[in-house]
Amino acid sequence: MAKKPAKNANEWAISDREVTRKDFPPDFIFGAASSAYQVEGAAKEGNRGASIWDAFSHTEGNIVDGSNGDIAVDQYHRYKEDIELLSMLGFKAYRFSISWSRIFPDGLGTKVNDEGITYYNNVIDALLEKGIQPWVTLYHWDLPLHLHESMGGWLNKEIVKYFTIYAETCFENFGDRVKNWMTINEPLQSVVNGYCIGIFAPGRSENPSTDTYLAAHHQLLAHASAASLYITKYKEKQGGQIGLGLDCEWAEAWSDKPEDVSAAARRLDFQLGWFLDPIYYGDYPEVMRKKLGARLPQFSEEDKNLLRNSLDYIGLNHYTSRYIAHSTESPDGHEFYQTQEVERIAEWEGDQAIGGKGGSFWLYIVPWGIRKTLNYIAQKYNNPPVYVTENGVADEEKRSAQLHEMLDDKLRVNYFKDYIAQVAQAIRDGTDVRGYFAWSLLDNFEWCLGYAQRFGLIFVDYDNQLSRHPKSSAYWFMNFLKGDKGNNGKEE
Ligand code: GBH
């Protein structure tokens, strides 16, 4: 790319003063997030069954540093210490996921594993004791291995039934205390990386042009089935809410040319519309239907009814943004972008980029992108309640760094300040954003990238018994949240 975007993103820069807790309504909820396979460890304890991530990470060549989540950061044994840290920092919510194969080791839903129930009961009770709301994700990518091996996992429609049994078991056992549920985290990442590119479990890329859309279709139906069950049978009694977690990069048109403008719109349809249009408008976005034809599965009338109103809120996971240009060539090099006919541009002309570089090759720091994404959701889907359920950045790689250097994470402090200021701005713009979760409480197992990518507010010393050390960003949150009464009442 030898040209510059016509638009100057800096027009979206806002105020020079630092964001404060008072820029948000008193009942706005601030929390930190994690997921089971990334933090729990204890892979063979508590009668837990294997998941597709155990199999995938134990296959040579799949994880950059050859690691796996067998021990992870051992939250299974250290949850009390971690909850103590959350409380010290002043967070009022903790988003974590339940490992399906701890509840049903083979996924089949015939016999509940009591040890799994006990573990999550302990976590939930320990959180509530500290006045921290448990935000529970039912599926954060760790499908019981048996469901994959015996029936094809997400490629088989039967999975909807098993997911619903598992979800109901969770509502029944935990719903007296858990008031905030998320069915599935980032279906897009799990199907594109798992069934198209093959860099996530289950590591398939054999039929990218069909499997990807089929797996997503079944995740949507599983969401709809579990969420409508909750809404009709549990919501009133238990007084909670249920949502779906979607990841979205902001797509800024590369130029004002109509083909770039429509490429950017298409990109958003392939990220968010893929999952939200069926829920809000009863079918996949028109542009997906046109480009994918018969490769895109169809919804029955019954599916459509279940999907409609299957959400109390949208969980938005947002990290970064890209310029989007029209392209039939797919320099990104794979099926998924080829079908969309888009090119994602982060850097051009050698020295120009959409934003500063975070510690991961894929993450550019573009604070205004979160405001635009939130405003886009409000405008396109009639201003639904949204929680930012993940936002964060990895540390810069510092190979021989001393502990004190790793703890002084200025890059992350600035990232949070700037992104959170843009969330406040989105609220002033009129969007219904109700909460924000930092990813992640602790450094953890970053999927195919292993342990080298550290997203934590709290440093985990992998060379020293997994000891926990809050980084500057953790203390930034502590100051920011001072005096936060959370959902319990008025601000001081
Ligand atoms: C989220 O995914 C996940 O929900 C969370 O579990 C994860 O830890 C967090 O973000 C940070 O990544 O191109 O081969 O390097 C966000 C989507 C998926 C984007 C992985 C970056 C890198 C895969 N991320 N992807 S690769």
pLDDT tens-digit profile of 188-232?
999 999 999 999 999 999 999 999 999 999 999 999 999 999 999
Measured distance CA(288)–CA(339) in Å, rounded: 9
For residue 371, report the distance from its CA to the centre of ligand 1, in Å: 20
For residue 435, report the distance from its CA to the centre of ligand 1, in Å: 21
For residue 319, report the distance from its CA to the centre of ligand 1, in Å: 9
Q: Which are the contacts of 434, defined by CB distance < 8 A and separation ≥ 6?
A: 27, 28, 29, 313, 385, 386, 387
- Cβ of 168 below 6 Å from ligand 1: no
- Which ligand 1 atom is nearest residue 440's CA? 8
For residue 234, report the distance from its CA to the centre of ligand 1, in Å: 32
- Kindly compute the dihedral angle of the four CA atoms of residues 185, 242, 421, 21, in this order, to the nearest 10 degrees: -130
Supply φ then ψ for residue 37, to 5 degrees: -65, -25
Supply φ then ψ for residue 156, to 5 degrees: -110, 130
- What is the pLDDT, as a whole number, of residue 351? 87
- Cβ of 443 below 6 Å from ligand 1: no
Low-confidence spans in the chain with pLDDT less than 70? 1-14, 330-333, 486-492
Q: Are 468 and 460 in contact (CB under 8 A)?
A: yes
- What is the pLDDT, as a whole number, of residue 489? 41
- What is the pLDDT, as a whole number, of residue 488? 47
Residue ranges of the annotated binding site are: 38, 140, 185, 319, 439, 446-447
Protein residue with its CA nearest to atom 21 in ligand 1 = 362
User: What type of residue sits at position 489?
Assistant: G
For residue 194, report the distance from its CA to the centre of ligand 1, in Å: 12
Give the full edge-to-edge strand order of the sheet including 321-326.
250-253, 321-326, 342-345
> Which residues are paired to 433 by β-bridges?
386
- Which ligand 1 atom is nearest residue 448's CA? 14
Radius of gyration (C-alpha) of the chain in whole angstroms: 21
| Helix (H), strand (E) at residue 215 | helix 208-229
Q: Which are the contacts of 462, defined by CB distance < 8 A and separation ≥ 6?
A: 451
Ligand 1 pocket mutation, candidates 362, 365, 455, 457, criterion most atoms within 8 A of CB:
362
Measured distance CA(19)–CA(416) in Å, rounded: 10
- What is the pLDDT, as a whole number, of residue 371? 98
Measured distance CA(177)–CA(155) in Å, rounded: 33
Q: Are 316 and 435 in contact (CB under 8 A)?
A: no
For residue 315, report the distance from its CA to the centre of ligand 1, in Å: 16
Ligand 1 pocket mutation, candidates 38, 142, 182, 390, criterion most atoms within 8 A of CB:
390
Q: Are 344 and 323 in contact (CB under 8 A)?
A: yes
- Cβ of 452 below 6 Å from ligand 1: no
- For residue 381, the Cα-to-chain-centroid distance in whole angstroms is 20
Instruction: State the pTM of this model.
Output: 0.96
Residue ranges of the annotated binding site for substrate are: 38, 140, 185, 319, 439, 446-447
pLDDT tens-digit profile of 353-389?
999 999 999 999 999 999 999 999 999 999 999 999 9
Instruction: Give the number of other CB atoms < 10 A from CB of residue 179.
Output: 17
- Cβ of 185 below 6 Å from ligand 1: yes
Ligand 1 pocket mutation, candidates 35, 96, 185, 189, criterion most atoms within 8 A of CB:
189
- Cβ of 137 below 6 Å from ligand 1: no
- The residues that are catalytic are 186, 390
- Cβ of 186 below 6 Å from ligand 1: yes
- Cβ of 448 below 6 Å from ligand 1: yes
Domain boundaries along the sequence of the chain: 9-481
- Cβ of 199 below 6 Å from ligand 1: yes
For residue 64, report the distance from its CA to the centre of ligand 1, in Å: 14
Measured distance CA(386)–CA(374) in Å, rounded: 8
Of 104, 274, 139, 307, nearest to 196 (Cα)?
A: 274
Q: Which fold has domain 9-481?
A: TIM Barrel (3.20.20)
- Cβ of 449 below 6 Å from ligand 1: yes
